[in-house]
């Protein structure tokens, strides 16, 4: 099986295992699903932190308003008490986005642990550990978050809560930075060795028939144009090369500082050395021996 190191820009994302006999279309579809799925997990974990701190999301018309303004406009959140977790504690949200009915400390830990586990499953460090990622891994991370949410909020979350919308796949990212990060599957493409992998072809048409190789591919949208080529040397290889060049330069400096006649003190430069060896005159001491 060929291993693809999937990158977005110059940043490693994950390793993906496939066969060179698979079509480019299937590989691109699978890679994009994993990439977008990891983004979804990251967004949920962010909102989950706000959820355990300040409770469920307020209706859109109440967000950002002060208590006085809410009373003056006679607005009410019909979901706050209905969806409040058992034993909730009051924790006002200074940002005015959430109702302020937070889970008790022991239930907060359930959500925290689920978020940590989900982040661990989709972490980029798996590239260094040479562990490939699949859609099953992303689904496992989402199931971890979904299960913890149901435990802490048995009555469910309001339909407008970002966590519920993400888990139900009805999130609206328009106008947010997250919308720029997600890649449209219909416009996604992969590049390898400076060339675009063409839909309808097999991977072998671009990567060869060697099914035991590792190839770096870059994921991007067709609207972005060609991504930058990979550097010839990695950062670590470049550092080692510079270190080797520096050491060699220092050695040359030392040689230049030495006297040109320095080598005459060496045995191999002594013209009489061979003669003394034949006559057994080597290692003779002229100092008088001390008697016993």
Q: What is the mean pLDDT of residues 253-281?
A: 64
pLDDT of residue 171: 92
For the cut 90, the answer to whether the pLDDT of residue 167 exceeds it is: yes
For the cut 50, the answer to whether the pLDDT of residue 261 exceeds it is: yes
Could you give the CA distance from residue 223 to residue 36 in angstroms, rounded to a whole number? 17
pLDDT of residue 66: 85
Q: Which residue has the tokens 């060496």?
A: 266
Could you give the CA distance from residue 45 to residue 145 in angstroms, rounded to a whole number? 8
For 175-209, write each residue's pLDDT tens digit.
Answer: 888 899 999 999 999 999 888 999 999 999 998 88
Task: Write the Ramachandran bin of 255: left for phi over 0, alpha for psi from -120 to 50, otherwise beta.
Answer: alpha
Which DSSP letter does residue 130 get? Answer: T
For the cut 50, the answer to whether the pLDDT of residue 292 exceeds it is: no
pLDDT of residue 283: 63
Number of H helices, E strands in the chain: 10, 7
For 73-109, write each residue's pLDDT tens digit.
Answer: 889 889 999 999 999 999 998 888 999 999 999 999 9
Most confident of 175-179, 227-231, 246-250: 175-179
For the cut 90, the answer to whether the pLDDT of residue 236 exceeds it is: no
In percent, the amount of the chain with pLDDT more than 70 equals 84
pLDDT of residue 162: 94
Could you give the CA distance from residue 203 to residue 267 in angstroms, rounded to a whole number? 65
For the cut 80, the answer to whether the pLDDT of residue 244 exceeds it is: yes
pLDDT of residue 265: 60
What pTM was computed for the model? 0.77
In this structure, the dihedral spanned by the alpha carbons of residues 11, 15, 21 and 24, taken in order and rounded to 10 degrees, is -40
Question: 195 is written with which tokens?
Answer: 């060339």
Counting Cβ atoms within 10 Å, is residue 241 exposed (0-12), middle (13-18) or buried (19+)?
exposed
For the cut 90, the answer to whether the pLDDT of residue 230 exceeds it is: no
- Please tell me the least confidently modeled range out of 131-140, 175-184, 212-221, 237-246: 237-246
SS3 state at 97: coil
pLDDT of residue 242: 85
Q: How confident is the model at residue 121 (pLDDT cuts 50, 70, 90)?
A: very high
For 14-49, write each residue's pLDDT tens digit.
Answer: 999 999 999 999 999 999 999 999 999 999 999 999
β-pair partners for 102: 89
What is the sign, positive or negative, of the torsion defined by CA atoms of 7, 12, 16, 19? positive
For the cut 90, the answer to whether the pLDDT of residue 130 exceeds it is: yes
Q: How far is CA 76 from CA 80, 165, 208, 230, in A?
A: 9, 21, 63, 55
Residues with Cβ within 8 Å of residue 132, at least 6 apart in sequence: 3, 14, 15, 16, 17, 126
User: Cα 34 from chain centroid?
Assistant: 13
Could you give the CA distance from residue 102 to residue 153 in angstroms, rounded to a whole number? 10
pLDDT of residue 63: 87
For the cut 90, the answer to whether the pLDDT of residue 57 exceeds it is: yes
């Amino acid at each position: 099986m060929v291993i693809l190191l999937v990158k977005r820009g110059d940043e490693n994302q994950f390793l993906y295992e496939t066969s060179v006999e698979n079509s480019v279309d299937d590989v691109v579809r699978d890679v994009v699903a994993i990439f977008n799925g990891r983004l979804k997990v990251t967004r949920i974990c962010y909102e989950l932190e706000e959820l355990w701190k300040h409770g469920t999301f307020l209706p859109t018309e109440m967000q950002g308003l002060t208590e006085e303004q809410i009373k003056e406009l006679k607005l009410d959140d019909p979901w706050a008490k209905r969806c409040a977790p058992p034993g909730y504690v009051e924790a006002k949200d200074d940002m005015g986005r959430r109702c302020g009915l937070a889970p008790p400390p022991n239930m907060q830990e359930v959500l925290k642990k689920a978020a940590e586990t989900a982040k661990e499953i989709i972490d980029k460090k798996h590239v260094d550990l040479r562990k490939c990622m699949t859609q099953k891994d992303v689904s496992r991370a989402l199931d971890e978050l979904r299960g913890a949410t149901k435990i802490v909020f048995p009555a469910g979350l309001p339909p407008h809560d970002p966590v519920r919308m993400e888990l139900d796949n009805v999130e609206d990212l328009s106008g947010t930075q997250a919308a720029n990060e997600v890649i449209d599957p219909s416009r996604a493409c992969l590049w390898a060795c400076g060339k675009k992998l063409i839909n309808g072809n097999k991977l072998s048409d671009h990567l060869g028939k060697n099914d035991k190789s590792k190839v770096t591919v870059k994921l991007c949208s067709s609207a972005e144009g060609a991504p930058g080529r990979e550097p010839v040397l990695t950062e670590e290889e470049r550092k080692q090369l510079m270190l080797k060049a520096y050491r060699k330069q220092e050695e040359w400096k030392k040689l230049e500082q030495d006297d040109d006649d320095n080598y005459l003190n060496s045995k191999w430069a002594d013209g009489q050395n061979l003669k003394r060896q034949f006559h057994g005159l080597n290692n003779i001491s002229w100092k008088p021996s001390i008697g016993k």
